[in-house]
Structure 1
């Protein structure tokens, strides 16, 4: 196992030296053992702060997989069902054509409301109650369940408010008490606590071009929250609870979360039974009954995907190149975090080399 650790460490350092990456982490569990815990580069160019294993990275939509796990934990405890109508839990949600939208629709990105509310601004994103009120009033673009369109940001408030209403605790507290504490994770947050700013990597995106959508058009990611990397470099964005897109974590934490979803779990902790994960990772089927590479809150492997080309693989990636996933057939769980967003992203080549090395174990 020392060989794979050394090889992946050397590869990360080389990608930084070549200028393809600034700072990055890679953590890999294989059949219950942490076989790679590698990191390289700079977390903050201004100060010269180096990346270490406990550096925290904003991971954007990689957070969505953790949200899914929270919902599946509540389902396993009998607090909700996937076919429960959201309006049965959250009555205000059932207006303007959404009365039949279910929790399953939200997990599969088929509620019909991928778009953010209009008439709000960046200061509102940190106001949980206001955002939930605005989301509840949205009108779907299609009948819930009819088609899938990625709910880039609305996903988090829909499912986060469902979790809060059935459980009673705020989403960030559920995450801490039901995932982080049982797994001994101390570096996974949706809503950064005070005193942690010094550990967060600064994001960079050279050559970013501002989108030009009309202000009154329906936008899943509104222009006013862009550039996303600049937004996530602000204390306000880091402290907010936006479960679809503002998780801050280390690669170790991301990988450990997925290791705990594999058969047998990790260090005696399996968050969800195999039977629940079979349901949670069932591919979406719409009217044509063709299986799509989308599970209930997790993306699934497909041809050309960075996670791998098999539907059994599940996880989620995020804007800029972070990703975390599990491969049940191999007993593999991976977390990958980074802070330089560019067309020369090295993530794919790093995952290719990782797969090659794992195949030789």
Structure 2
């Protein structure tokens, strides 16, 4: 049955473009899921999980989603604010007293969500340190990542440090004293029916897991005590790497994004209030650039874009610049991404939700260009 809300020929062209990318070796495979007005309008799996083309991508393939993990923590932090456990203006040092030292101890939950803590954006606090346990990561960040400028004065995307402490804030203020994995499972994933999402690869997910092929893109290794290899963190059954360690499917991520598109609730389960979602998708970083992407843009010869960060979300915002959220999407479009692989967004103006996951990591610049083109093609198919 034809879908009256989307142009079928445009969606066919999108799939053709993705197949051409894969056939050309740009990446190995991808799965995309798009909804409009709450109805799935595109659900495709193209290519393979590996360069040898031995494991086809399917619509229920499990991907390591890297920094999309941060979106789950962000939502639960906003929920904790709604429940009165702390405020956006609460300083992290009030919850984690050992987080001392000027100027970082003045950084609030708001600064952590907007990547404006004043701490530099480091990938790992100590080279080669095992960071699969939250308490060890907390100790490493507190001991080695110090403030360099006043909170609020600079935007440095934090690959790991911010969400280590945000997750610790959730854990320390949890009335039931649960682990961060339990909090994510019981307060977010289970209520939303996200049965294929976890910090680690559960047994029922193992056969469908697309083992990440790093292709030299990430600047660090991620080892595990329980799974072999330089990137064992992403194949272990369990981790507490709350900044990058979760795995999911396009189906589960669609449920998460549909919750956000609908103002914080899905199928009778409310995670956030509409007011909170509205505040979260507003740009809070003014005209500050994101220092990580300043470097990417300058290296690529592009204009430096504004950071356009909301409360834990990337926001399209106004202006014309290179962005994976697309140039044809509305300024209110908001979402999150995972290093070289994944992107999720909601465009409130066209009532679209988008999930894209891929195999074979791309460099930051190539990933941004890839998803800018895909995002523009998706929103242009809305009629």
TM category, shorter:
0.7 to 0.9
Q: Distance in 1 between matches of 2:231 and 2:35?
A: 28
Corresponding position of 1:260:
259
- Aligned residues between the structures: 343
Task: Quickly say closer, same or farther: Cα 1:236–1:15, change in 2 above 3 A.
Answer: closer
Normalised TM-score (structure 2): 0.79
- Is the Cα–Cα contact under 8 Å of residues 47 and 53 in structure 2 kept in the other structure? no
Counterpart secondary structure, 2:76: helix
Please state whether the residue corresponding to 2:158 is helix, strand or coil. Answer: coil
Structure 1: any 5+ residue segments left out of the alignment? 210-220
| SS in structure 2 of the partner of residue 65 of structure 1 | helix
Match of 1:307 among 309, 325, 331: 325
Residue 61 of structure 2: aligned partner: 55
Q: How high is the TM-score relative to the length of structure 1?
A: 0.83
User: Is this contact kept in 1: 2:109–2:166, CA < 8 A?
Assistant: yes
Query: How far is 1:294 from its partner?
Result: 0.6
Which of 34, 39, 49 pairs up with 1:43? Answer: 49
Q: Secondary structure at the match of 1:261?
A: helix
**Of 359, 365, 381, the match for 1:339:** 359
* CA–CA separation in structure 1 for the residues paired with 2:348 and 2:219: 36
Cα deviation code 1:61-88 (max 9, x no counterpart): 2222222111111112222210011111
Give SS of 2:115's match.
coil
Q: CA RMSD in A?
A: 3.1
- Change over 3 Å in CA distance of 1:64–1:117 after alignment to 2: closer
Residue 355 in structure 1 maps to residue 374 in structure 2: no
> What's the CA shift string for 1:133-161, capped at 9, x where partnerless?
12123321112222111111112201111
Do the aligned residues in 1 keep the contact of 2:87 with 2:109 (CA within 8 Å)? yes
**For each residue in 1:251-279, what CA deviation from the matched residue of structure 2 results, as whole angstroms up to 9, or x when unmatched?**
22222211101235443444322211122
| Cα pair distance change 1:10/1:238, threshold 3 Å | farther
1:318 maps to 338
**Residues 145 and 238 of structure 1: is their aligned pair in 2 closer, same or farther, counting only changes over 3 Å?**
farther
**CA–CA separation in structure 2 for the residues paired with 1:287 and 1:42:** 40
The SS at the match of 1:38 is strand
The structure-2 alpha-carbon separation of the partners of 1:320 and 1:238, relative to structure 1 and needing over 3 Å to count, comes to: farther
Change over 3 Å in CA distance of 1:306–1:187 after alignment to 2 = same
